[in-house]
Structure 1
Amino acid sequence: MLNIRIICVGKLKEPYWRQACAEYEKRLHAFCSFSICEISESRLQDNPSNAQIAAALQTEGEKILSAAGNSFLFALCIEGRVLSSEQLAEKIDHLAVNGNSTISFLIGSSFGLSEELKKKADFKLSMSPMTFPHQLARVMVCEQIYRAFQINSHGKYHK
């Protein structure tokens, strides 16, 4: 069975975000082994310097890579490639067919992901040229993963 993980920085503070992710997690268990790994966010002072932000991103990136292990890495970043739902479904299916047993989607903090982590990613994925709060991005990724499995199984969810 394919393992799908979301590795993200920070916890979901609002119950409605947690409930939305939990609903998609429940639905996804019919298709794959699905989990969400939350990495602790680096503490920064108000108005941090660029050097402080870079150091925090570096620390968070190392924790993300450690949690990712040997998996195919989708780094979510604005400069990544925008895929349609059908293209993402095809990509996930292609990875599974070609022997990738674990796929990890990486979501950074409000400052994003480190440049080093983006370079190590197998695929840079953009949800949109717009900026979203990382809590909402997590829900959106859960939904798109579920939609991908529905597309690949010819389910009724995707119209």
Structure 2
Amino acid sequence: MNINLLCVGKIKEKFYREAIDEYTKRLSKYCSVKIIEVADEKTSENASDTEIQIVKDKEGERILKAIGERDFVIALAILGKQMDSVAFSNYIEDLGIRGKSTISFVIGGSLGLSDMVLKRADYQISFSKMTFPHQLMRVVLLEQIYRAMRIMKNEPYHK
């Protein structure tokens, strides 16, 4: 199975990079993981709704260009489906059984995802109704994918 993380922006903080590297290394035992970063747009603190939409659309166009035609796309979105770790593991396993060899998870920038990206997504998940920094979501997502793989293989993992 191939897992892509399509993300807006670069990770600047060393502690996030180290955690991402650690989970990527752990996941290499189970699947291929590729992190694809697209450039983020600069946004002023007091941006209007129109300016916000323009930024999300520009970032969205970059994301869409990075998605493969056959990729199964899962967008991280506040209004997406929430599930526990076992259900998430079962969902990922089922995708593999159905022949979805590449799953692309999409994490938007600080303003979220454009409607174009949400429409392209085959599924939307939410980790919480709370808002998290998009840099931290990379770590959380990778950890949950790792947990899902361990669950699939009936391997122990801290509960």
TM-score range, shorter chain: over 0.9
Distance 1:154 1:35 in 2: 24
Structure 1, unpaired ranges of 5+? none
**Secondary structure of the corresponding residue to residue 73 of structure 1:** strand
How large is the Cα RMSD of the aligned pairs? 1.0
Matched, 1:109 2:118: no
Q: CA deviation at 1:13?
A: 1.0
Distance 2:153 2:65 in 1: 32
> Which residue does 1:100 correspond to in 2?
100
Structure 2, unpaired ranges of 5+? none
Counterpart residue type for residue 52 of structure 1:
E
**Secondary structure of the corresponding residue to residue 59 of structure 1:** helix
> Which residue does 2:24 correspond to in 1?
25
Q: 1:2-30, CA deviations, whole angstroms, 9 ceiling, x for partnerless residues?
A: 10011000111110000000000000010
Q: Find runs of 4+ consecutive structure 1 residues off by over 6 angstroms.
A: none
Q: CA deviation at 1:158?
A: 4.5
Q: 1:84-132, CA deviations, whole angstroms, 9 ceiling, x for partnerless residues?
A: 1111111111111111110011000110001221122111100101111
Matched, 1:91 2:91: yes
Aligned residues: 158
> Which residue does 1:40 correspond to in 2?
39
Distance 1:130 1:45 in 2: 23
After the TM superposition, which residues 51-66 of structure 1 pair with which residues of structure 2 at under 5 Å, given as runs?
51-66=50-65
Counterpart residue type for residue 154 of structure 1:
N
CA contact (8 A) 1:150 1:158 kept: no
> Which residue does 2:122 correspond to in 1?
122
**TM-score (norm. length: structure 2):** 0.96
Distance 2:23 2:150 in 1: 12
> 1:130–1:46: structure 2 CA closer, same or farther, 3 Å change rule?
closer
**Secondary structure of the corresponding residue to residue 150 of structure 2:** helix
